[in-house]
């Protein structure tokens, strides 16, 4: 069972206390954007086998959203961080690079 630290209230909550919210850092295209862009915002997901950045809500706790870096292959949790960010903070990325030397960086940047 996953145990994830809520970034907002600091509680180490188990999976049943949390609600998964899918991939993080997906930006909505502006109005007047093309159909393809909008459908990719709605449906296309990176679905990575490996390091995955995702949204979680502390549903049966403080009720707030936060982000988590987690491995979808081993279920290892690398850390949680604020949902009010456009990309993962450097501290999390550095930590992942230590644990996973072959980590290519966020969104293959």
Partner 1 sequence: MTKKYSLFSLIKEGLGHNLGWEKAWRDPEPKNEYKVVIVGAGGHGLASAYYLAKNHGLTDIAVIEKGWLGGGNTGRNTTIIRSNYLQEPSIALYEKSRRLYENLSQDLNYNVMFSPRGVMMLCQTHHELRAMKRTSHANRIAGVETFMKTPEEVKSIVPIININGPRYPVLGGLWQPRGGTARHDAVAWGYARACSDFGIDIIQQCEVTGILTKNGKVKGIDTTRGKIKAEKLCIVVAGHSSKLADMGGFRVPVESVALQALVSEPIKPMMNCVVMANTVHGYMSQSDKGEMVIGGGADGFNNYTQRGSFHHIEETVRALIETFPVISRLKMLRQWGGIVDMTGDRSPIISKTPIKGIYINCGWGTGGFKAIPGSGWATAELVANDDPGDLAAPFSLDRFSEGRMIDESVAAAVAH
d(CA 21, CA 19): 6
Residue among 36, 91, 99, 105 that touches partner 1 (CB under 8 A) = 36
- Residue 99: CA count within 13 A, CB half-sphere: 16
Contact 67, 54 (CB under 8 A): yes
Contact 61, 9 (CB under 8 A): yes
Closest distance to partner 1 from the beta carbon of 75 (Å): 6
Contact between 76 and partner 1 by CB under 8 A: the answer reads no
Closest distance to partner 1 from the beta carbon of 22 (Å): 7
Contact between 63 and partner 1 by CB under 8 A: the answer reads no
Residue among 2, 26, 62, 77 that touches partner 1 (CB under 8 A) = 2
Contact 65, 55 (CB under 8 A): yes
Residues that bind partner 1 (CB under 8 A): 1-2, 15-16, 19-20, 22-23, 35-36, 38-40, 42-49, 52, 54, 70, 72-75
């Amino acid at each position: 069972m996953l145990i994830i630290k809520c970034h907002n209230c600091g509680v180490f909550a188990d999976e049943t206390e949390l609600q998964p919210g899918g991939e993080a850092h997906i930006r909505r295209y502006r109005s007047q954007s093309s159909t393809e862009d909008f459908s990719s915002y709605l449906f296309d997901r990176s679905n990575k086998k490996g390091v995955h950045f995702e949204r979680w809500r502390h549903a049966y706790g403080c009720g707030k959203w936060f982000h988590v870096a987690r491995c979808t292959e081993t279920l290892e949790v690398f850390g949680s961080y604020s949902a009010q960010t456009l990309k993962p903070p450097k501290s999390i990325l550095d930590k992942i690079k230590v644990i996973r030397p072959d980590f290519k960086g966020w969104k293959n940047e």
